[in-house]
């Protein structure tokens, strides 16, 4: 498999097309969902349903139909009655307990391929439920050595529904716990997983989120510097988030601006210096990042309505593109239009331009 997105895509398709499978009985839970007040028997019905539905995932031999069990669980995870908190509370507790138990069982199963598929599907179920209680369950897998499992674990704790719940002041401790665990895996995560972390860091509303964003940006900057970068297209998202912070009253505006300028500069320089070694797909991704940034970020930051980046690319004029880079970000002799602080040179003088990108490796 050549890339993580291909792996994720294959697994997603693999689990979507449903064949015949023993259906999870949902008649009892559907009756409970329709009640406005629940008694102890109803709460037991909820727990029994979760136990049996999760067990169905564990015992399946037909992975092409496993999405049926996941879909039935998700479809019956909420009451049909407004303001029915009993149902939500019990379902959440049951899901946390029984999915945690199932994951432990799945980890110990053989062969390894079966264990991998079960853990992945249980994390996909966790992600679909978007229950903040289950965030702690998923966090155990964010540093998995299997990149697909890691991707889905990170997806569980960064999806928009969970992020919205973590932004509730009552959930601040959980939000900090999530950020701490994500911070620990930035250095070893794939570009796809970094993209999830970047989006989350741009949406979470506590100061620690900005520190996480800067760490993701630094990781991407380092991968450009040594010519190992992959999935250049995702940097459009990172630059967008950084640009939004620059245009706002970010407490770390200077630090954010430094990352924005250096990352954007490396995108420019990779396109210019890599003309002879990059393939059409890589060049296309870099072009998309430059054009997207020009159209969605720069006018918000500078208040200037128009730049000439796209025009220079379309005309094939590399010199004009370099001039756009220098005018915007600086050229070493004078600061660019963004007037960013790139730190100090070895002699202590302020740097007036981003760090230059080394020439591409000969091999």
State residue 100's pLDDT score.
97
State residue 180's pLDDT score.
97
Q: Is the pLDDT of residue 12 over 70?
A: no
How far is 245 from 30, CA to CA, in rounded Å?
46
With residue 58 as reference, give the H or E element that holds it.
helix 40-59
State residue 22's pLDDT score.
54
How far is 326 from 226, CA to CA, in rounded Å?
22
pLDDT in tens, 208-222: 999 999 999 999 999
pLDDT in tens, 30-75: 999 999 999 999 999 999 999 999 999 999 888 777 888 899 999 9
How far is 181 from 158, CA to CA, in rounded Å?
12
State residue 15's pLDDT score.
46
Q: Is the pLDDT of residue 279 over 90?
A: yes
What would the DSSP string read from start to end of 3-41? -HHHHHHHHHHHTTS----PPPP-HHHHHHHT-SS--HH
Q: Which residues contact 301 (CB under 8 A, 6 or more apart)?
A: 243, 246, 247, 338
State residue 349's pLDDT score.
85
pLDDT in tens, 81-132: 998 999 999 999 999 999 999 999 999 999 999 999 999 999 999 999 999 9
Reported as a pLDDT band with limits 50, 70 and 90, residue 21 is very low
State residue 5's pLDDT score.
52
State residue 10's pLDDT score.
41
Q: Which residues contact 351 (CB under 8 A, 6 or more apart)?
A: 342, 343, 344, 345
Reported as a pLDDT band with limits 50, 70 and 90, residue 25 is confident
State residue 346's pLDDT score.
83
Mean pLDDT of 173-188: 97
How far is 123 from 117, CA to CA, in rounded Å?
10
How far is 50 from 56, CA to CA, in rounded Å?
10
Mean pLDDT score across all residues of the chain = 91
Lowest mean pLDDT among 16-20, 134-138, 181-185, 203-207: 16-20
With residue 148 as reference, give the H or E element that holds it.
helix 147-158
How far is 318 from 49, CA to CA, in rounded Å?
63
Q: Is the pLDDT of residue 352 over 80?
A: yes
How far is 83 from 54, CA to CA, in rounded Å?
26
How far is 225 from 172, CA to CA, in rounded Å?
35
User: What is the chain's percent helix, strand, coil content, to nearest 5?
Assistant: 70, 0, 30
Reported as a pLDDT band with limits 50, 70 and 90, residue 19 is very low
Size (the chain), residues: 363
State residue 18's pLDDT score.
36
Mean pLDDT of 19-36: 80
State residue 250's pLDDT score.
60
Tokens of 176: 């900090």
- Reported for 353-358, long-range contacts at CB under 8 A and 24+ positions apart, including other chains, are 353/265, 353/326, 353/329, 354/261, 354/262, 354/265, 354/266, 354/329, 354/330, 355/225, 355/262, 355/265, 356/269, 357/224, 357/225, 357/265, 357/266, 357/269, 357/270, 357/273, 358/225, 358/226, 358/227
Q: Is the pLDDT of residue 341 over 80?
A: yes
Lowest mean pLDDT among 221-225, 281-285, 343-347: 343-347
Q: Is the pLDDT of residue 20 over 60?
A: no
State residue 323's pLDDT score.
96
Q: What percent of the chain has pLDDT over 70?
A: 93
Q: Is the pLDDT of residue 350 over 60?
A: yes
Residue pair 275/358 in contact (Cβ under 8 Å)? The answer is no
What is the pTM (predicted TM-score) of this model? 0.89
């Amino acid at each position: 498999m050549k890339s993580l997105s291909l792996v994720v895509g294959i697994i997603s398709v693999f689990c979507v097309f449903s064949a015949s499978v023993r259906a999870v009985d949902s008649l009892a839970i559907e009756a409970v969902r329709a009640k406005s007040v629940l008694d102890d028997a109803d709460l037991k019905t909820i727990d029994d349903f979760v136990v049996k539905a999760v067990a169905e995932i564990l015992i399946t031999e037909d992975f092409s139909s496993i999405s049926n069990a996941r879909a039935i669980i998700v479809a019956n995870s909420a009451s049909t009655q407004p303001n029915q908190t009993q149902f939500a509370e019990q379902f959440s507790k049951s899901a946390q307990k029984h999915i945690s138990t199932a994951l432990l069982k799945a980890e110990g199963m053989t062969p390894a391929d079966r264990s991998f598929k079960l853990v992945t599907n249980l994390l996909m179920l966790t992600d679909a439920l978007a229950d903040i209680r289950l965030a702690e369950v998923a966090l155990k897998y964010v540093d998995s050595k299997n990149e697909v499992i890691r991707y889905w674990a990170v997806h569980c704790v960064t999806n928009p529904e969970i992020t919205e719940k973590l932004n509730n002041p009552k959930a601040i401790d959980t939000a900090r716990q999530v950020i701490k665990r994500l911070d620990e895996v930035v250095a070893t995560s794939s570009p796809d997983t970094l993209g999830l972390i970047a989006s989350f860091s741009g949406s979470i509303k506590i100061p620690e989120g900005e520190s996480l964003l800067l760490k993701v940006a630094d990781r991407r900057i380092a991968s450009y510097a040594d010519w190992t970068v992959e999935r250049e297209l995702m940097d459009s998202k990172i630059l967008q988030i950084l640009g939004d912070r620059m245009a706002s009253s970010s407490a770390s505006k200077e630090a954010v601006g430094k990352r924005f300028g250096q990352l954007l500069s490396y995108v420019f320089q990779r396109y210019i210096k890599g003309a002879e070694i990059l393939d059409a797909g890589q060049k296309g991704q870099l072009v998309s990042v430059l054009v997207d940034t020009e159209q969605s970020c720069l006018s918000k930051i500078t208040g200037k309505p128009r730049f000439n980046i796209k025009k220079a690319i379309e005309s094939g004029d590399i010199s004009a593109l370099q001039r756009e880079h220098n005018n915007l970000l600086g050229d070493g002799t004078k600061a660019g239009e963004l007037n960013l602080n790139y730190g100090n040179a070895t002699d202590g003088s302020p740097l007036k331009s981003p760090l230059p990108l080394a020439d591409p490796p000969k091999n």
